[in-house]
Amino acid sequence: MRILVTGGAGFIGSSIVDAYVGAGHHVSVVDDLSSGARENLNPRALWHELDVRNEALDHVVASERPEVVSHHAAHVSVRRSVDDPVGDASVNVLGSLRLLEAARRHGVRRVIFASTGGAIYGEPDVVPADETHPCRPQSPYAVAKLTVEHYLRYFRTTYGLEVVILRYANVYGPRQDPHGEAGVVAIFIQKILAGRSPIIYGDGEQTRDFVHVADVVRANLAALDLALDGPEPAIFNVATGQGTSVNQLWTALAGIARPAVPPRHEPAKAGDLSRSVLDPARAKRALGWQPTVDLAEGLRLTWDWFVARERKRAA
C-alpha cells in the first residue's frame, strides 16, 4: 500500500512511519521539521521537507499517489494556540484543508486523522467519555481539531473519501519532545535527568488518560484495513479508559527514576481540565484494538529510552 504520512518526523508520526515501513508498505513523509526531528526520519521512507500550508503539497500528493494519507502534521501546543490562535488555525485548519483538497484531486482513498480526545470533549459530563460525548473544546487547538473533523465529514459525504478519525488521549513514550507543554511524562523525565524539580500545577489531582505510543501505533495499523459502512467518518478514542492523576504519575515515575529533588507546585493553569479520561470500547469492538502497555511498563520503557539517548549524546 502507498501511504503518505504528514508529520512523519514527529514523536507519534515517526513511530507510525516505522510500523508502516516494517509492515511492507511504501511510505512517504511530509515534514518541515518545525517540531519533528531529522533523527526520527525512517531512511526507507521518502522525505519531503515541506510545510503542509505550502502550495507544493499538491505536487507531492500527485507524484506520490498515496492510497492512504495519515495526517499527523500539526501545531500541538494548547498554550501556543491560546497565545496565537491565528497561527494555530493556519497550520491545523488551513494546512489540513489544503491536504484534503489535494487528496480529493489525486485519488486518495482514505485519510486517517490524528485528532484529540484529551481536549476536544472539554470538561466531561461522564468519565470515561465515549465518542458520543458532546464536544466542547476550550482551546483554539481543540477548536481547530474539531473543525477539521467537520471538514472530513464534508469530504466523506460529498466526495466519498474514506475517513478514520483517531481521538488520542495523552500520548507518551520514546521520542516525545520534552520542550513543549504537551508531554508531561517527557517533561518530568527531562527535569529528573537534569537534576531539577519539575513543576506540578495546582494540587496535582487533575486526571489524565496516558496511552503509550506503541498502542497508538497499533491503532493506526488497524485503521488501514477497517471496513467502512455508511456516510459518516469512523471515529475512535485511542485511550486506556483509566485516569491517572499528575501526583500518581509523579509517584510512579519517581519509583523508577529515583529523582534527586522533589517536584514543586505552582498555581493551576487557567482553563486546565480537572478530568480527561476516554472510553476505548468502540475501538475494541470495531478495530479489534485495545491498549496493551500498562502505565508502569510504559514509564519504564520511556525512562530507559531517554536515559539511553542521554548516554549516547554524552559519549
Fold observed for domain 2-171+211-238: Rossmann fold (3.40.50)
Average pLDDT over residues 263-291: 92
pLDDT at 272: 78
What pLDDT, on a 0 to 100 scale, did the predictor assign at position 281? 98
Cα Rg of the chain, angstroms: 19
Coil, strand or helix: which one is 94?
A: helix
42-62 per-position pLDDT tens digit: 999 999 999 999 999 999 999
DSSP-derived secondary structure for 230-249: SSSPEEEEES-S--EEHHHH
C-alpha closest to that of 135 among 283, 238, 282, 278: 278
pLDDT tens digits, 170-220: 999 999 988 755 689 999 999 999 999 999 999 999 999 999 999 999 999
Mean pLDDT of the chain: 94
Q: What is the pLDDT of residues 243-276, one digit of tens each?
A: 999 999 999 999 999 999 999 999 988 767 899 9
Express each pLDDT in 225-237 by its tens digit.
Answer: 999 988 999 999 9
Residue 206 is predicted with a pLDDT of 94
User: What are the backbone angles phi and psi of residue 301, rounded to the nearest 5°?
Assistant: -60, -40
pLDDT of 87 strictly over 60: yes
In CATH terms, the fold of domain 174-208+241-278+293-314 is: UDP-galactose 4-epimerase; domain 1 (3.90.25)
Residue 2 in this model has a pLDDT that exceeds 70: yes
pLDDT score of 25: 98
Q: What is the pLDDT of residue 229?
A: 82
SS3 1: coil
CA distance 202 to 205: 8
pLDDT digits 0-9 by tens, 100-119? 999 999 999 999 999 999 89
**20 tagged catalytic:** no
Start-end of CATH 3.90.25.10 domains in the chain: 174-208+241-278+293-314
Query: What is the distance of C-alpha 199 from the center of its chain?
Result: 23
**pLDDT band, residue 36 (cuts 50/70/90):** very high
Residue range(s) in the chain whose domain bears CATH number 3.40.50.720: 2-171+211-238
One-letter amino acid at 85 equals P
Cell numbers found for residue 133: 460525548
Which of 20, 141, 168, 172 is labelled catalytic?
141
Per residue in 139-160, pLDDT (tens digit) is: 899 999 999 999 999 999 999 9
Q: Show Cβ contacts of residue 207 under 8 Å, excluding neighbours closer than 6 positions.
A: 127, 243, 244, 245, 274, 275, 276, 277
